[in-house]
Amino acid sequence: MYADLKKALKGLPAELRGAKPDKLPYSIWQLVEHIRIAQWDMLNFCLDPNHKSPKWPEEYWPKEAAPESDAIWDESVEQINKDMDEFISHLEHSDIYEKIPGGSGQTVLLEALQLADHNAYHTAEIIVIRRLLGAWN
């Protein structure tokens, strides 16, 4: 069964957001925040020809293993959902084959495929971490 990010995060105990299972380099929080940053970047690349992407890789990954508060966690998840809705709206109202102004040949379709692939990859990592922590059904 396919699990999207909402399902992958549903019921996650707050105390496990920053847990790093043995030998894994990241926590669920770091993956969630990375998804938020990368998705924001892809969305704004499509919308703004003057958009400047964060520095790779340091500005795409949070250094802290856990969010500072429940509010910070909630804001990150809400931003992911908001940006996804905006990206879908842009996709629905665009010529998906037209080159993106300010890009180097990318199209909205290419960005949509990259976004879907990126989010699916990291969502699967979240589920694996939850399994390793004994917090997945």
pLDDT at 1 over 70: no
Alpha helix (H) residue ranges in 14-67: 28-47
- What separation in angstroms does the CA of 136 have from each of 17, 28, 34, 53, 57? 13, 13, 21, 34, 29
Q: What are phi and psi of 120, to 5 degrees?
A: -65, -45
Evaluated on CA atoms 85, 88, 92, 96, the torsion sign reads positive
What is the reported pTM? 0.96
Residue 66: pLDDT band (50, 70, 90) is very high
Q: In the numeric block, which tokens belong to residue 21? A: 């299972």
Q: How confident is the model at residue 137 (pLDDT cuts 50, 70, 90)?
A: confident
Average pLDDT, the chain: 97
Domain boundaries, the chain: 26-132
Q: What is the pLDDT of residues 3-30, one digit of tens each?
A: 999 999 999 999 999 999 999 999 999 9
pLDDT tens-digit series, residues 87-105:
999 999 999 999 999 999 9
